Every structure is written in structure tokens, then in C-alpha cells.
A = this chain, B = another copy of it.
Amino acid sequence: MIDFYFDFISPYGYFAAMKIDGLAKKFDRKVEWHPMLLGVSVMNVMGLKPLMETPLKKDYLIQDIPRLAALYNIPFSYPKHGMPKPLPPARAFCWVKEMLPERAGEFAKAVYRAQWQDGLDISQPQVLAKLVEEVGLNGEALKEALETETLRRSLSEKVDASINRGVFGSPTYMVDGNMIWGGDRMWMLEHWLSKGKWDSNHQKY
């Protein structure tokens, strides 16, 4: 099992989301998808600014994100409407995971593609409703659920659990007791899945 933590607002989470199932399958592992919120981990718990409001880091990300997309061979464009609100899609994910856990990962990938490929605003309930229908669920039922305290609490509990586990970044992989952070660290996850240990002279130079 690989526990995969992600926030829909994270382009690095998107890159990893597009690749994680393929990587897991290569090593006969299943993926469990878990929502986390950068707004909670980075701002509330760590006391840091959002990356895109951090001098120097911001310029680096603007250079880094498109080239990582190219390296991973993943279509990518910045959303024209600006960044989505993270809560509605994360709550929709919780709802799908409760209703139809075996298709939760598929739904998460559809939401990511809607945001980072198709330029849709995934904080809009009607966009999310259409996406849940594609995995066979009722879009109107989702819209109602998005207004409920139950669903708010469901996400909130999952986010608390991610913080308790030490997750702060998107994406984060947990495998066999190892926590690995970063869309640029899939090489390290693959190394673990392949070797099951760290001391194995990974580099050839």
C-alpha cells in the first residue's frame, strides 16, 4: 500500500497524481488517496507564507513547474480564472471516497485534469457535479452534500489526521513507514519500491 496525500491546488500534486497509479502497479502496490490542505499545514501549522507569495521561491516555481510537466510528459496549463478554492474539491473527494471508495483515485485524477489541463474552476459545485457523474454518482446529491456540516467535518478530520501523521506538503507518499515529499521525489519512491532499502548506492557518479 502507498498512502498518497494531495491538495488539488498543487501542480506538483497533479504531476504525481498522474503517475502514482502507474508507478504503484509496476511494483504490485495499491494506492490509497488522502486529501490534505496546504492552507492548514503550511500556513496554520508551519507558520509559513504560501509559496507563490514567497520571494525567490515564486520565480523558481514559475520556471520549475512547466519543465517538470515536460519531463513527466504531462499536459499542463495555468488556470485562466486563477487558483481554485481548495475546500470544495477536497470535500467532493471525501464524498466520493465515502460513496465509492474504489473509484476515489479516478475521481481525484479527473478533478486534477479539469483544473490543470482543461482550465476549469474546480471550486464550482457544478463543475464538481459533472465530474462525480463521470464516475457514476449523482451530481445533484453532491451539490447538496457540499452544503452539509457532515461533509465539512469529514474533510476536517482527514486533514487533522494528515497533520498528525506529519504530512505538510503536496504530494506526500507514505510507504512502509517512510514519508517522502515532493512531485520531484518519485525517483526516491521508485527506489524504495524497487529495493526496499536506502543503502544501495543509487548514484553512478
Chain A residues close to B by CB (< 8 Å): 19, 22-23, 25-26, 41, 45-49, 54-57, 59-60, 63, 67, 70-73, 163, 166-168, 178-179, 181-182, 184-188, 190-191, 198-203, 205
| Total identical chains | 2
Contacts of A179 in B (CB 8 A): 60, 63
Q: A60-B166, A179-B60, A191-B71 are in contact. Are A45 and B41 (CB under 8 A)?
A: no
Minimum CB–CB distance from A58 to chain B (whole Å) comes to 9
Contacts of A71 in B (CB 8 A): 188, 191, 198-200, 202-203
Contact A57 B46 (CB under 8 A): yes
| Beyond known contacts A22-B205, A23-B205, A56-B168: 13 more, CB 8 A cutoff | A26-B205, A45-B55, A46-B57, A48-B49, A56-B167, A60-B179, A63-B179, A67-B178, A71-B188, A71-B203, A73-B199, A73-B202, A190-B205
